[in-house]
Structure formats: C-alpha cells, structure tokens
Chain A
C-alpha cells in the first residue's frame, strides 16, 4: 500500500540492481511503479498492463530535479524591504491617480447629468445610508451615554456639572460623531465595495465591461463614491443627534441636568461652528472610504485569497486614512481659528 512507500523508499535507498523482477507483484499502483523505475535496473516479469504503467511513469518523470527553495539571507531580506518600499510608493501614486480619474469622471458627468446612472446611485444610497441608520444610531447613542457618564464623574468634583453639556456637544459634534460614523461605514460599505468589485474582477466582468465600451470607473466607482459622499453627511447628522440624545438622557439621570436645561445650555455655550466643522469633514471622509474601497477592489487578482486579503486591507487603510485626515483637519481648523 502507498502508506508503506516511505519505508520502502528508505530501505531501497542506494540500491542499484541490474535487474528487477516483479513477476510476483499482482497489483501495481503509480507509487509502486515510481519506486521500481527509481531503482533503475532492467525490469523483468511485468504483465502487459504493468509494463504500460512503468513506461508511463518513466516518461512522466521530469528530467532535472528542481533545487530546494532559496535559503533566507540578508540579501533576500534587503530585497524584500526594497520591493515593499517601492511597492508602497507606487501604490500611493496609484491611489492618487485613481482619485483623479474618479473626480474627472464625476466632473464629466456633472456636465452631462443625463448620463448619471440613477438606479445604482439610489440603490447604493439605500445600502450605504438607510441600512446603516440603526447601527450608527445605536453606536452614537452609546457614545453619548459613555461621555456623559465619564464626564459627570470628573466634573462633579469641581461642581461644574452643567459643563457636561459642552463636553458632550463639542466632542460629539466636532469629532466623534462623524469620525465613528466614517469608521463604521468603512467597515460596512468600504469592505463591500472591495468585495463586490473584486469578485467582478475575478470573474472577468470588468474586462467584459471594457470590451462593451463601458467605463468601469463610470459604471462601478462613480455611483458608489457619489452615493457615499451624499449619504455620509446625513449619517453624520443622525449620529450627532443620537449622541446628543444619549448624552442628555445620561446627564438627566446621573447629574439631574433636565432636558430643558440641556437644550438651553446647548444653545448658549456651543457655537454653531462646532457642528459645521464636523459636517465639513464628512464628504472628505466619504471620498477616502469610497476611493480606497474601490481601488482595492480593482487590485484583486485571480485568486480567492487576494480577494480576502484586499478586503481586509481596504478597511484598515480607509480607517487609517480617515484618522489621518481627521488629524490634519484639526490642525487646519486650529490655524483658521474655528
């Protein structure tokens, strides 16, 4: 049986007979035939079908043995680092190029609005926006609750409970509401973009589109990115509202700040710019998530593994880029003084 082949193969190592008699063998499989041909002697006593098998196996063996895989060395490591670095730089250039291409297509469509594909645009707005409302609301509500709870514990020490309103409003409106929404959307929709476009790429649907004279960027990317840019500010607004509601409820329970007082304090102490700053960032975050998600989708190669790898990569890159952009915006708004 083939299980014994290891033992036999070792036992016969270095044996080089002139003649092999296999007349006592009734059944011969390919592994057995391989063993016999490896011995190299002249074969006697083979039945017709055994002879045929031996010949087939003999012919099937490749002439030169392939050498073992290259040993890891410093040079190989340097080579890998160099390739990674160059690859990373090339990818940045590629993403920027892709962003430019998408913006150019959107600009072209803006001149001829009749060509905008409304059905996919609305479908994507539904799946990115409406379907995400429950999870975004819940997330923002809980963040509001947590902020109020944690803030209350600190502010009570100074008797400054009422400032919890400022704390909640500013942190949610300016930063957390839109940032966390963008992160959730990156995980939900950015990953979905990569997977959808990637599997279309794998099944050559993207190539089919090109041969039919359809522009994949116009058909696949523009509706997705446009839907995201339109919907993310609205989701951000929902998150802001729910965050404030969560904060208000917790302040009421924990600190006795009544909803009316919360509202008055909100109107007095919180400038409308805080709200504007949050919403200004939304379209930019949307652009980052959409472009990264679609671009990674087009990078999918021929196998299933690359689809999975790039989908997770798409989420990691877009979340990272969103946070980087948020930091840059903070510096910018600090400089212009809002």
Chain B
C-alpha cells in the first residue's frame, strides 16, 4: 500500500433508502494534510465516522495504516486505534471531567504511567494546543467554544498519533482564532510528521494548510488535487465553491 495511510475503496453508506456514499474511493498519503470539502449533506462527517470505525459501511473496504479496519480482530483494531486521534466538531469532551482529566483519559486507558508523568504530558499537550494553564482545572462547560476545540485537539494528540482526524476544527471560531488554529495544525503536522484528515468548510484553512483537497459530491470523491487543480475542475459545484467571492478573497489573502 506504499505511502497511503488511509485507503478507502468502494465505500457505500446508506441510511434507509437514502444513499450517502456509493463507490467512494479515497487515499490519504503519509504526512500530508488532506482537506475534505463538500456541500451540506454530502456525507463528510459520515466518511470520517466510517474510517474511524464509528459507523459500519454497507459495502467497501477501509484500510488504515495497513489494517483492514472492517475485518480486523478487536485486538488489531484497538492497536491501530491507538495510532490515530479524532477531534469532533464541538470537542466532544467528557463533561464530567476537567480539561486535564479529559486529556489524561486516553493515557490512563492505554498506557501505564505514573500520575505525575501523565499530568505533565497532559499539560504539555494542552500547552501545545494553545490553552492557558488555568484552563486545565476547568470543566468543559466553563470554556468558550474555541477553547473547547483546542482541548479536543489536545485530547486527540494525547497518545502521539500518526493520523489525526479533524471534523470542522475551525467552524464557529473567529477569524483570528481560526487562523491560529490553522497555524497550530500546520506546526504540529510538520514537527510531528502527522497525517491530517481535515473536514472543513473554511476556504482560508484550505488555502493555508492543505496539501491536497478532496471534493465530495455525487456520492463519491469527485476530484482530489491541490488548490490549483481545483480551479481547473469543470463541475458546477466545484466551480461555484472555488470561484465564489469568498474563495477569491481567501486566495488573495
């Protein structure tokens, strides 16, 4: 499978009679930032959920880090699950735990560490995600939306994953916060050699940090390629998306 860390083949997802994906193929290469875009309801989040195994597709195969996650044994799946981190749209932090305990939760579950070490590593992850020290002892409900997203990222990074899946990480952030978040992801990506799978609507993020872009439309991945490739694509939705006024503004910036 070479340099592909994620290989999706012939994926089909269907809810009742509503087909979301049909014959969807997608590759994610090692060390790249892949932005996944698509209109509302094209199943971006469904694709992410299918890859990380939260949703069982009706047909097709998903290989992550050379493991066929649909047919793997529980032990194999757990082993590969340790090598990825997922950040959900609103952070999906455990509301009954403090922010630090949230980051410690995966370490407590998967690693056998001393409490002090765990605490130091959790604080480090929170600091890397750009949270101030006082946030660590707060509960998620006491944080702003942007800080919850950062805490969610810190938890996704808790086990030093090779792949991180981010579901609309910059949605709902102010432009400064969103730019800082983009920069943070770019830094982490280059420093840790992360592969980033990035569901987004944010054209600024796409231009700023994505190596490649995959467009979901017509129940499959319509095209993948760089931002320049996208501008050449002759498909009504892709044209409307990448040639719209917001897209032009984002490119100029």
How many residues on the A side are at the interface (Cβ–Cβ under 8 A)?
Answer: 27
A321 vs chain B, min Cβ distance (A): 28
Give the residues in chain B near A9, CB-CB below 8 Å.
Answer: 114, 117
Give the residues in chain A near B141, CB-CB below 8 Å.
Answer: 301-303
Give the residues in chain A near B23, CB-CB below 8 Å.
Answer: none
A3-B112 contact in complex given A9-B117, A303-B96, C-beta closer than 8 Å: yes
A61-B112 contact in complex given A6-B117, A304-B95, C-beta closer than 8 Å: no
Flag if B191 contacts A49 (CB, 8 Å). yes
Contact of A66 among B96, B128, B133 (CB under 8 A): B133
A60-B140 contact in complex given A29-B192, A53-B192, C-beta closer than 8 Å: no
Q: How far is the CA of A335 from the CA of B205 in the complex (A)?
A: 77
Q: Would you list which residues of chain A between 52 and 71 have a CB under 8 Å from chain B?
A: 52-53, 55-57, 59-64, 66
B14 vs chain A, min Cβ distance (A): 28
Give the residues in chain A near B188, CB-CB below 8 Å.
Answer: 56
Flag if A303 contacts B140 (CB, 8 Å). yes
B135 vs chain A, min Cβ distance (A): 10
Flag if B139 contacts A30 (CB, 8 Å). no
The 8 A CB mask of B99-127 against A (1 = contact, 0 = none) is: 00000000000011110010011011101
Kindly report which residue of chain B lies nearest to residue A31, judged by CB atoms. B121
Secondary structure class of chain B's binding surface, majority of residues: helix
Give the residues in chain B near A64, CB-CB below 8 Å.
Answer: 133
A30-B121 contact in complex given A49-B190, A301-B141, A302-B141, C-beta closer than 8 Å: yes
Q: How far is the CA of A142 from the CA of B141 in the complex (A)?
A: 47
Flag if B95 contacts A31 (CB, 8 Å). no
Kindly report which residue of chain A lies nearest to residue B132, judged by CB atoms. A62
Kindly report which residue of chain B lies nearest to residue A9, judged by CB atoms. B117
Q: How far is the CA of A277 from the CA of B123 in the complex (A)?
A: 64
Give the residues in chain A near B124, CB-CB below 8 Å.
Answer: 30, 34, 57, 60-61
Q: How far is the CA of A60 from the CA of B157 in the complex (A)?
A: 14
The 8 A CB mask of A290-318 against B (1 = contact, 0 = none) is: 00000000000111110000000000000
Kindly report which residue of chain B lies nearest to residue A62, judged by CB atoms. B133
Kindly report which residue of chain A lies nearest to residue B161, judged by CB atoms. A29
B111 vs chain A, min Cβ distance (A): 6
Contact of B160 among A31, A52, A60, A304 (CB under 8 A): A31
Flag if A302 contacts B127 (CB, 8 Å). no
B131 vs chain A, min Cβ distance (A): 9
Contact of A30 among B95, B96, B117, B157 (CB under 8 A): B157
Besides A9-B114, A30-B125, 9 other A-B contacts (C-beta < 8 A): A2-B160, A5-B113, A31-B160, A34-B124, A53-B191, A56-B191, A57-B124, A59-B127, A63-B133
Interface residues in chain A, defined as those with a beta carbon under 8 Å from any beta carbon in chain B = 2-3, 5-6, 9, 29-31, 34, 49, 52-53, 55-57, 59-64, 66, 301-305
User: What are 13 A-B interface contacts by the 8 Å CB criterion?
Assistant: A2-B113, A3-B113, A9-B114, A30-B157, A52-B190, A52-B191, A53-B192, A57-B124, A60-B128, A61-B124, A61-B127, A303-B141, A304-B96
